Structure 1
């Protein structure tokens, strides 16, 4: 499911349908949180003008990256 939602989210982004992209990426992240999903969704939030949600997703992506670097 994660790969399907991620692909649909990216397709919606490519088509400029940012509300639908946010919906699909949110569904993908509900299946399993992943760094690239948060990064993509932060771009979508920025396109939609929601900088607060964009900042939150960027912070989540950075936190995941840090955990991977620390090996925990």
Structure 2
């Protein structure tokens, strides 16, 4: 269904963006997302060593920022 399709798209976006952030060491901001979508991103990247994720902004315009982890 729509939700599983959306989850797949978000996981691909998360992975792709996280790789860029890890390489460039520059934070990346994803578009505004609802709570479910943000959780998908946080969960997907939770075990990555090189990046960390944070939700920022105010509802309904909250978004996820993927940041390089300080070593």
Q: Could you state the TM-score of these two structures normalised by the residue count of structure 1?
A: 0.36
Question: Which protein has the bigger strand share?
Answer: 2
The one of the two structures with greater contact order (alpha-carbon pairs below 8 A, sep at least 6) is 2
Instruction: Compare the two structures and name the one with the higher helix fraction.
Output: 1
